[in-house]
Structure 1
Amino acid sequence: MQPYYSDGIYVAAGWNDPMRYFITFLILCAVTLFNLLSATLVSAQEKLSENEIVRMNGSSHIPEKGVIPDEQTAKKVAEAILVSIYGQEAIERQKPFRVVLLCNIWIVTGYLPPDQLGGVFRIEIAKQDGHVIQVMHGK
């Protein structure tokens, strides 16, 4: 008796051709089932909104209107971040702030009177979750 089939697969003790085909069939079924379940799970996750995914993962709840729902909140958050970067005095000189909501991103910029030279800050903050997208300051 040869220890290998002609195709090079090892013959385990007592494994005949029908058993070998049955085991191969079971392995193929398991792989196919795994692929189908994986594709279904990925498809289902793609259909979930960002809020549903956050809740599903057990993270804190994000309000429907977003973490930064209005202009006043955007100003306060921007000021807190900018003061820590540029200092209170530099930020105070650029008031009143200009705030615009564009594509669910709060854009807060400083103000510089026309008779003064220099640049102003610009900060972009996501309305939905409050993450800072960009901070910069002109010269």
Structure 2
Amino acid sequence: MRKLVIIFSFVLLNNCIVKAQENRVDTGKKFAQKELDLALAIEKENPNYVGVKPLIKNEEMAIQVIEPIVVGKYGKERIELQKPYKVHKIEQYYIISGTLPFGSIGGTFVIIIDETNARVLHLTHYK
């Protein structure tokens, strides 16, 4: 009888732990979908809802934002050869491109990001 009570208690406790874990995991995707829907609805009404102050405050920060993106897309070796980057700020946008030594054959990346929300508006690599 004692063994039966212990086994029953173990099964009940195990079931409670699994239920607690399920509740945490189960709400993840639904919550993420609601957050995405809300963000997209707000962005439709006001594309700069992130705040009045820009998220990207200077050229150095802009480079820190774009570098993992361009390296992930085009490869570290290819992007390293395009340093130093050229950064131009026009209105609320940073236009960043790679550079090549004179006489080199090939092209560079160009990426445009919004300083207010760090959104990538354009990304390409010319040949």
Structure 1 residue identity aligned to 2:122? Q
**Could you say which residue in structure 2 is the equivalent of 1:138?**
126
- Unpaired runs of 5+ residues, structure 2, are 1-44
The answer to whether 1:97 aligns with 2:124 is no
Name the Cα RMSD after superposition.
1.7
CA-CA distance at 1:114 after TM superposition = 1.1
Moved over 4 A (4+): 48-51
Which has the greater radius of gyration? Answer: 1
CA distance in 2, matches of 1:63, 1:77: 18
CA distance in 1, matches of 2:54, 2:46: 13
CA distance in 1, matches of 2:121, 2:70: 13
The answer to whether 1:112 aligns with 2:103 is no
CA-CA distance at 1:69 after TM superposition = 1.3
Q: How many residues align?
A: 83
**Could you say which residue in structure 2 is the equivalent of 1:124?**
112
TM-score of the pair, normalised by structure 2: 0.60
Identity %, equivalent residues:
36
Q: Select the structure that is richer in helix.
A: 2
Which of 80, 92, 102 matches 2:68? 80
- Unpaired runs of 5+ residues, structure 1, are 1-47, 55-61
- Higher RCO (CA < 8 A, seq sep 6+): 2
CA-CA distance at 1:49 after TM superposition = 6.5
Structure 1 residue identity aligned to 2:87? V
